Amino acid sequence: MQRIYVVGTADTKGEELGYLAQLIRDAGATPCVVDVGTRAASVPVDVTAREVAGTAADRIFIDDRGDAVAGMAEAFAAYLVARDDVAAIIGIGGSGGTSIVTAGMRALAIGVPKLMVSTLASGDVAPYVGVSDIVMMPSITDLAGLNRITRTVLGNAAAAIVAMTRRPPVADAGKPALGLTMFGVTTPAVTRIADELRADYEPLVFHATGTGGQTMEALVSSGLLAGVLDITTTEVADLLFGGVLPALPTRLDCIARTGIPYVGSLGACDMVNFWAPETVPAKYAGRTFYRHNANVTLMRTTPEECAAIGAWIGRKLDACDGPVRMLIPEAGVSALDIEGGAFRDPVADAALFEALATSARWSGNRRLIRLPFHINDPAFTDAAVAAFREIAS
C-alpha cells in the first residue's frame, strides 16, 4: 500500500503532525506519521524515532544536539530509501527538523512528490533542496502549535501533497534522454541541437547556473541519461574565479566514471557571473563588465583566467576513457564574444583554446575538434550533432 509519509519531530511538532495526518486521511489518502525527533514523542506515531535510527541509535540519542540532528538526518535518509511504499512525503520543521527531513527527501528519486513546510523556506533554501525537486513552503509563523495561520498553511500543504499523488502518469517518451547545458548566450546553439536530435532522443536542457550542471550530472550518475552535450561549461569559470553560479569541484567526474557519450564545448567560458554591480569583489575593479540585467553582472575573463579554465576542463577530460568529442568554436564562445560584441577578445579565446588543447591527451576515443565557427553558428551545431551521432551509434 502506497502511503504519504508525514514527517517531523514529534516531541515539539506533534500537534501539527497529527493535524496534517488527519487532513490527508480526510482527503482519502493514507498517511504514515514518522517521528525524527531525538526526545520522547508527544503524540502517537506510526514510525518511532528509534525505528528510524536503527543501529545508529547510540550516536543519535545523545546530549549534543548538533551531532544528534546530523545523525538523525543520515539515518532518516537511509531509512527512507529502503522503503517501497512512499507515494509522497510531506515534512514540517524549524532549522533542525528541516535539515533532517530534507536529507531524506534528497535521497528519494526525482518525481516522488516532496513538500517541506518550514520556517526557513523564505530564505536561501539551496542547502536543503540541493539538486532535488523538493517544494519548500514557508510556514509564515513558527510551528509552535496550531493557530489560524498554521491551520491555513498546513491545510494548503496537505491538499497539495494529496493532489501531487493523484497527478496523471507521465507518458514515457519511448526515447533515450540526453542532457544539454545552456545559458542565455548559448541558447541558439543548444536549442538547435535539441531540435535536431529530438526525433531520436528526449532532450533535457539544464540552465548552467551551478545547480543546473549538478542536476544533470546527478542524472548521469543515476544512469538516467544516454548521453551529454555539455555545450555550456561556464560554471567552471565561476568555480575558479569566485562567481555566483559555480560548478562543484567534481564537475565532469561522472563523465569519466560512467563512460557516457560526451560532446562538450566552451560555451560562456568568456564570463564570470556576479549579482548586482555592487556585489562584484573589489579585487575585480577596472575589469570589463556587461550588465545582463539589474541583478546579474558579467565579467569578461582575461587570457590568464581563460588559460586556467581550459586547463581545468582538459585535465578532467583526460581522465575519460569513454567516447569524448570536445568542440572548439574558434569564432567565439558566447553571444557577447562575437565580432563587435562586448566580450570579443581573440587573445583571451586563444589562451582558452590552447590550454584545453595541451592539457589532455587527445587521441583515439578522446578527440579535440577545432571549428572555424561561432558557437551559435548553425554550422557549429551541425558539427555537434554529427559528433554525438558518431559516438552514440
Per-residue pLDDT band for 170 (boundaries 50, 70, 90) equals: confident
pLDDT at 92 over 80: yes
Question: Do 3-165 and 177-392 agree at the fold level?
Answer: yes
Q: Give the whole-angstrom CA distance, residue 208 versus residue 216.
A: 10
341-378 tens-digit pLDDT: 999 999 999 999 999 999 999 999 999 999 999 999 99
pTM for the complete prediction? 0.86
pLDDT at 169: 80
Residue 106: which of 143, 70, 71, 135 has the closest Cα? Answer: 135
269-301 tens-digit pLDDT: 999 999 999 999 999 999 999 999 999 999 999
pLDDT at 185: 98
What would the DSSP string read from start to end of 164-213?
A: HHTSPPPPP-SS-EEEEEE-GGGHHHHHHHHHHHTTTSEEEEEE-SSHHH
**Span 242-252, mean pLDDT?**
97
pLDDT at 173 over 80: no
pLDDT at 127 over 90: yes
pLDDT at 341: 97
pLDDT at 272: 98
- Percent of the chain having pLDDT more than 90? 96
C-alpha cell belonging to residue 303: 587570457
Query: Under a CB-based contact definition with an 8 Å cutoff, are residues 261 and 225 in contact?
Result: no
pLDDT at 4 over 80: yes
pLDDT at 205 over 90: yes
Residue 368: which of 379, 354, 381, 378 has the closest Cα? Answer: 354
222-239 tens-digit pLDDT: 899 999 999 999 999 999
**Span 6-33, mean pLDDT?**
97
Per-residue pLDDT band for 211 (boundaries 50, 70, 90) equals: very high
Per-residue pLDDT band for 168 (boundaries 50, 70, 90) equals: confident
Average pLDDT, the chain: 96
312-345 tens-digit pLDDT: 999 999 999 999 999 999 999 999 999 999 999 9
Number of residues that make up the chain: 393
Q: What is the CATH number of domain 3-165?
A: 3.40.50.12020
Q: What is the CATH number of domain 177-392?
A: 3.40.50.12030
What would the DSSP string read from start to end of 344-381?
A: --HHHHHHHHHHHHHSS--BTTEEEEEESS-TTSHHHH
Strand partners, 6: 33, 90
pLDDT at 184 over 80: yes
Burial class (CB in 10 A: 0-12, 13-18, 19+), 168: exposed
Q: Give the whole-angstrom CA distance, residue 65 versus residue 360.
A: 48
pLDDT at 1: 83
Q: Give the whole-angstrom CA distance, residue 337 versus residue 64.
A: 54
Q: Give the residue extent of every domain in the chain.
A: 3-165, 177-392
pLDDT at 300: 98
